[in-house]
Amino acid sequence: MERHFFKELENLKMTILNMAALTQRALENATTAYLERDEKLAQTVIDGDKKINELEVQVDQYTLKLLALEQPMAKDLRTIMGTAKISNELERIADQAVNISERSQFLCKYPPLKTIPAMDQLIDVSFAMFKKAVACFVNEETKAAYEIREMDDRADAYTLEVLHTLVEYMVKNTPESERRRLNTRRSIQTIIISRCLERVCDLSTNIGEHVAFITEGINIKHQYIDRKE
């Protein structure tokens, strides 16, 4: 029974890693579609979301089976519960990739807006946070969870800078009413993309917090813990 349990637990972890790989690819393709104005690549992200959703269902099934039949305790129980939550965060990150892709498809139909440096920085930090969150899970490294939370402050600052840049653009440019409406619509879609990226950062932070729960049995949500204690 014990050997069977650990095999099922390993299957659960492998499903999560597969889900994480597909989610990372979706996020990469979505941001590339936005940056390179690639409508077909954006559609690839949208079409691929079904597979990620299917994997989340598989994780749910593994979780219920392990909880119902094996009655795990201590770290094994935390692993099952935490992994189920991580699955949910990954699915939501993939949904944000779909949202970015849908907004990018709209933007592809019109001339590009000017380059926004804060958006490029936001994309970079969102990738870094997501990859660190996945590595945190693979290596069971709680320290990285705190590092991810600190990076989230940078993501929030970049998001706010994107918002300020585009609001100023909408206010100051294009006096003609028709062109103003078009610029406003493009700016709003871009702002939504920045909020999607910010959400990716928040969800990556959540993954780190779930890993802290799995590895050490501590809840670091909504609080800052002095690591020196």
pLDDT in tens, 183-227: 888 999 999 999 999 999 999 999 999 999 998 887 777 665 444
Q: Phi and psi (nearest 5°) for 35?
A: -70, -40
Torsion of CA 206, 212, 218, 222, to 10 degrees: -30
Burial of 201 (0-12, 13-18, 19+ CB in 10 A): buried
Measure the CA–CA gap between 64 and 135, rounded to whole angstroms.
25
DSSP class of 176: S
Per-residue confidence (pLDDT) for residue 165, from 0 to 100: 92
Report pLDDT for 135.
94
Tell me the residue type at 69.
L
* Predicted confidence (pLDDT) per residue in 159-178, tens digit: 999 999 998 888 776 556 66
Nearest to 16 by CA among 122, 110, 137, 115: 137
- Contact 73/162 with Cβ under 8 angstroms? no
Helix, strand or coil, per DSSP, at residue 225? coil
Asked if 29 and 38 count as a contact pair (C-beta separation under 8 A), the reply is no
- pLDDT of residue 16 exceeding 80, the answer is yes
Q: Is the pLDDT confidence value at 60 over 80?
A: yes
Most confident of the following: 26-35, 61-70, 137-146: 26-35
If one compares 74 and 57, the residue with the highest pLDDT of the two is 57
Packing angle between helix 142-172 and helix 117-139, nearest 10 degrees? 160
Question: Is the Cα torsion angle 201, 202, 208, 210 positive or negative in sign?
Answer: negative
The predicted-structure confidence for 76-118, as pLDDT tens digits, reads as follows: 899 999 999 999 999 999 999 999 999 999 999 999 988 999 9
pTM: 0.90
Angle at 191 between CA 29 and CA 116, to 5 degrees: 75
Q: Give the mean pLDDT of the chain.
A: 89
pLDDT for residue 59: 94
pLDDT at 229: 40
